[in-house]
Amino acid sequence: MLKNKSIHKKNVDKSHRLELMLQAMADRIFLINEDMTIVEQYGSAAETLTDFDVLYPAHVSHELKSALSDVLRSQQPITIRYSVLLCEQLDLSISEIEAWNGIDERWFEVIIKPIDTCEETSYALLHEREITQTYMDEKELRRLADTDELTQVLNRRAFTRHLEHAFNDSTTTVVSCLMIDIDHFKEINDRVGHLSGDEVITQVARICKDNIRSNDYIGRLGGEEFGIMLNRTNAIQAYDVAERIREAVASSSCHIDGHIIVPTVSIGIAELTEHVTSVRELMVNADKAMYYSKQTGRNQVTVHHDNLPHLSTAPLNGANIRRAG
């Protein structure tokens, strides 16, 4: 009898310690039944709330309920992420607002797992943790991976990805691609040095960014060449944008190490039409138009068309390229 009491006391103490540990967690844990009612809650979920619509903003509550339904139906776990804006938290006290530490948006990760309780009622366990810092770190890593270090515009991979997205998106109406190359750039490097050349590249990138919209994209494709993707813009409209960029570059100047450099650019334009079969073809068309601008005088804009003359751009002493094998 005493032994049974001792065992019972140990079990009670163990359960009490476990409950204290769960309540002390920074994460939130909910046990939810098939009626979407919160049966148990632990961690920072100190409030005894049973309704998702009270606990979460409407869009989050809807997303979680939908995920819970999927888990209970499929008996497979689901992981989702959601964010909450400070402006949505209308019932927060001053101290609770201050606890946000100046952050306008907080991110959370929720893991929802089915629970087998051998009862008729189905349950799911919802484990929620804040991942704001992790999300911000991941976002910064993505930005760094997509950004050209010198100019802070997109790199070639990221720019091409945006073109691929537009090409594969059935809702895309019309898109134009600009290829922009700084004229006589090798001579600039040879006469005033590569660091001065970097200044010219940075200035041209800045001028391009200033002359496109926030929903357009610019990327440095390599060396002194840039690409611009203009959304909802046909070739004729793109010509006006390209001319604006060309004139802005030609009217600017770089003052570097006692030199005044007045750069110019050659620009080619290609429109994404039903006859273009790939992003590569679109970029090649814009590239051909850009080289036509270079070979016929530089500091000008050319729109690609099927009858565009083919001009040889190969120098007399070209690269040594041989067939393999």
- 262 three-state secondary structure: coil
Kindly report the number of other CB atoms within 10 A of residue 207's CB atom. 21
Rg (CA), the chain: 30
Query: Minimal CA–CA distance to 270: which of 213, 298, 228?
Result: 228
DSSP letters of 63-82? HHHHHHHHHHHH---EEEEE
Evaluate whether 150 touches 201 at the Cβ level (below 8 Å).
yes
Q: What is the number of alpha carbons within 13 Å of residue 103 lying toward its C-beta?
A: 15
- The yes-or-no answer on residue 105 being catalytic is no
User: What is the torsion angle, in degrees rounded to the nearest 10, for the CA atoms of residue 10, residue 13, residue 18 and residue 19?
Assistant: 150
Q: What angle do CA 28, 29, 34 make, to 5 degrees?
A: 135
> Both tokens of residue 275?
């006859």
Is residue 311 within 8 A of residue 296, CB to CB? The reply is yes
Partner residues linked to 115 by β-bridges: 123
The single residue of 128, 224, 225, 271 carrying the catalytic annotation is: 224
By annotation, the residues acting in catalysis are: 224
